[in-house]
Structure formats: structure tokens, C-alpha cells
Structure 1
Amino acid sequence: MTLATPTTPRTGMEAVWALLHECGGARHHSVADRLVTEKARLHNPPWLGPDGRGAAGVRDHLLLLHRAFPDLRTEVEDLFGAGGRIVARLTHRGTHRGPWLGVPATGRAVEFSQTLIFRVEDGPGGRIAEIWYETDALGTLITLGAAPPLGTTSAARALGWAIAAAHHRAHHRVPQDQPWPWRGTDRQRVPAFHGPLSGTAPAAAELLEANARPLRRWIAECVNEQAVHICREIFHETYRGHSPPHAEPEPLRGPKGYERFIRAILTGFPDAKATIEDLIPVGDRVACRVRMTGTHLGPYRGLPPTGRPFSLGQIVICRIEDGRIAESWQEIDALGLMLGFGVVPRPGSGPAGYLLWFARLAATLATAPRRIAAARKGATA
């Protein structure tokens, strides 16, 4: 297969396209040196460690993926941007043939989503100066058998999973059967850059602000004020919500579908508050980075309350139609959330680590009533 020769991008959008396809798909990792500034910051989730810095940080992130999934294929599902910020929504598919987050190769096929927001410099070339991203790491770990399905918290089910996972980890090894770097036809062809994939319709500032309004109401009123009854005002009757299967196994359809979803969240986290940290309206798309905080005070998706506080990052993309949200894609740091609650083991845990996780989970649930009572007392003080 003939690979495209890396060229110098002329715009920030081209720089992002090149990073996704030349560095990500075609494995030209050194191209990152031309695309990323020396002081660029890659915002890693807290559980992954310190943020990446410069082109080296980006290369390290890509090498982590490509060594773990040497046949990784990346599809760019959406790409749009404005005002020096560019949004990309990706789907990755590959086979687990190398260590990932400390999990030895399992040989299992995986498919996981990822959403990124890039800040690019002004001027020719528009090099990448900052990257925020959210990845469905929890869903991937569940697929690899390194994290239990949500709701695995009863003593019998948790102990059963821990024993089975420890036995599998100890007795089933899959060698990394392809050397690094993986060579040959695995590298994706670099497609020609034809511009954004969506969110490109020209619009006046007034229309862009109007498109952003339902998303602002979603966060400010539906979530923070718990005004669930306004769902029919901000969600289109044909609304479709997209989340990883472990986060929402039943597809969200229409205002009533989202109302069911948000009621479940507010039942589990009745003091939840969300803050928009960045908002990017482009054409019929609106993207935002959101920080949600609260306390796990009620049951959620089969998880009994732990009484533990949380701070959760997420990236949301909405498609607006007739002034309402017609479609949304949400990528959240579900792994960080579940690690904070203690209901999944640390990535890379060995057989002993799985059994230690079970013991700690039992202690967490036993002491949860005390934390819940203290949190409620503090809220009313």
C-alpha cells in the first residue's frame, strides 16, 4: 500500500487532520514534531498520570495505543471547529496484542470511542497547542475482562468475578505476536483533506448563539436545577442520544428517553452540579467540555450508594434542529468515576490485586452509610 507523503498543513484544521491520519492511522509518529507546539499540553485523565507535554507527550499517547493494539484502525466520525478550537469524534477498532494500562495482551477485539477538542495557534500552519480528550477506557477494560460489568457489587457476584479474573490473568497469556513497529498493510491510507465533516453550514452569530441556547438550558436547568420537565422543550421529538453501551445500554430516544436518563442520574447523585468549561458552536453542531461534581448518595445502574464525592470530566457534542437538541454524543471519564467509588479494580491489577479489590469493595459498602449520613448532614447545615 502506498502511503501519503506528509505535507505541511496550512490551517489548524489540516494540522488536526494530519495528526489523526498521518500520526494515528499511518503511524508517522515523527510528524507530530511539525504539528504540535513545544509547550503543548495533553490533558490526561487523573488516573492515567501527569499531563503530556509537547510533541513527545502526543507521541507517547499514540505509542501506548499502537503497541497495545498494533492493528488499530481509526475512523473520524465527525470533525468541525471555529475560533481556534477543533472538535473530533473517533471510533477505534483493533486487537489487544500488547500491554495496555498494565493489562497483558488478551487477543480480544475491541471497539471504543474517543472525543477530542484541540486548541490551535493563530497564523500559518495553525499548530496544535492544547488537547482535551475523553475515551471509553472503562468499556474497553470491561471488554478485555480487566474490569467487572457495572453492577457487580454484591458480595457473591464481586467475589465470583474477582476469582474468575484472577484465574484467567494467571493462566491465559496471549503473546504479542507481531513485532513493533507493525509493518505492511496495517497502516491506514492517509485520505486527502476535504475540510470539516459536519458543522460547516455558515451561520450568523445570532443563530450560533440560538443553537447554543438549548445546550446551556440542558446544563443549567435540566441538570443543575433538576427541572426535568423541560426536556420536551429542549430535546427534539426525534432526539437520539449516543453513549457507550456500558454507560447507557438502552438507546435514548425522544424527550422521554432523556428524561428517564437524567432522572436515573439525579437519583444516584442528587446533589449533582455541572459547569460548562468551554463551548464551541459551529453550524448545526455545539460542542462543550463539562465538569460535573456531586456525591454518590443513591443507587445508580445497579451500584449501591458509596457516599463518595466525585468530579467527572466529559465532552458533549449536540446536533441542533429547529432550535432543539436532535442528537447528542457524550464521552465521559467513566473509569475515573468508578475508580473513585472503588467499584472497579485499578487497571493492570494482577490476581492478588483483584482479590484485594474485592476486600476493599466490601469495606467501602460497609462504611457507606456513615459517609452518606455525613454528606447529607453537611448539605443541610
Structure 2
Amino acid sequence: MNLEENKQICRRLMEEAWTLGSLHTVDETVASDCRFHDPAFPSLAPGAESYKQHIHMCRGAFPDLSCSADDILAERNEVVIHWTVRGTHKGNFLGLEPTNRAVMVSGTSIHRVEGGKISELWADWNSQALRDQLGFGQSDSKTNKAIARRFVEEIWNQKKPERINYFVTEDYTRFSPTGTLQGAQGLRRDYDTYVSAFPDCHIQIEDLICEGDQVGARFIATGTHSGKFGEVAPSGKHVSVPGAAMLRIANGKVVSEYVTWDTLALMQQIGAVPAEAARTRSSRA
């Protein structure tokens, strides 16, 4: 294909798929095994289907999203587009709650075209400009602390497990005394285990410390043992357990979480481990 035809393929992807929401255009312009590179979305999987889901997610956050190609260049089998995106923030995006603000963000994409379809795509855009326009243009420390607080408050305290996908990345990993779990589904299973046993569970954050993309938290978890917890029948007892966590946050989402708490104190308070046995173990240690 000649250079103008390659330009037209990339222009169609921008104008029809991104601006008009015509996702069938992705099938016509993007290879089934196309690879994507975007620092804001490091977990974006290869393929046209993945890219359609990505566009759908972005347009869900900015329903009136429109893209314009400001400059377009082509050489060999590569097409470079400098573009501008405009839209109104109506849905959650990169962990940022809807603000109803209008934004304008620019970026550059490089497309490799092979056999009439895009086989690889690199995108780079000013995510900080987006945050500034949405009113989140504060320091990384304040932003990451706010994300950590909302992560705990909405999922655990407000009992909104449907929000898990908004707060964690696709490759999210959680390390805790009960083991290692992966992804949103893994966190949902952990959530169900604890909330079914302690329906009124509440996590009170006592302190937050942030440096770079790492947020350290000290907390106290409370609740009433009203459901079966493992093999332990409901005791009706109120528990209060201290703990600590270390979260890594990137692009507005939690990537990993190291959580620890006093498991012995928890089991002792629900009657699974007698207090005398706990003291004996402590003295032997």
C-alpha cells in the first residue's frame, strides 16, 4: 500500500472509532495481534478486541470525545499523527471520579501498518495536563494518598465491590497473611470472604505516608463476627485488629498491595484461639 493509503487507515481509526464510536472500524483497520504501547495503560493487551474495549472504556468516561489530526506524516510503513482530543469528563477515568469538566489534551501516535492494517501502535500524551484540567493537578503525594483513601473507603467501608475494577490494574497483586491473589477477581474473592464473615467491617486509616508511587498505611479494622470465617462458626463477637499496608499506585490505580494484620489477635477475639493458648505461644517464642 502507498503512503496515502496508510495515512487513511490511521485517520479512519481516529475519526471513526475514537470520535464516532464506530468499533467495527477497529476490525477493519487494526490487526488481530496488534501490539499497543501507552505509558498510561501499561496493561493494555494485544489485539483488536482489546483495543475496542479500551476505546469503549475511554468513551464511557468522555461520551462526547472527539479526536482531530493536527499533523500526519508517513514514511515507509509508519504513520505519525499529532492529535488533539476534546471531551467532557462524565465517568471514572484512571481512578479519577467524574468532574463534568471539559478537557483538551494533545498527544502523538506512531502506527506501523502492515498488510493494510495497523500491526503496532505507540501513543504518548500529556496525562498531567488532563489531571490539571480536571482539578487533580496536585502533588503526586497528595494524589496517591487520596486514591488510597478512596480505595479503602469505597470498597471496604461503603461496601461497593463493583468499584474494584476502577481502582486496581489488570495485573494487580495483593500479598497478605492469607496468601497472594491476582487481579480484580482475586480481590473480590477476598472481599467476599471477609464481608460475609464481618458484614459491618470497617477500616479506619490512622496514618498515611507517601513517597513517590508508594503509600504506606496504618489502620485498625473492626467488625462483628456474624458469619462463618473459615471453619470458625459465627461468634457474634466484636473485633478490633491493627494492621499495616503498602500500596504501589501508578496512573491513578493500585498496582500492588502488601497487607499485614494481627491474625492471632483476630482468631483470639472470635474465640478460635483461647487467650491462654495465645499467651503460651507468646512465652515460648
* TM-score (ref. length: structure 2): 0.49
What TM-score, normalized by structure 1, do the two folds share? 0.37
Larger Rg: 2
More contact order relative to length (CA 8 Å, sep ≥ 6): 1
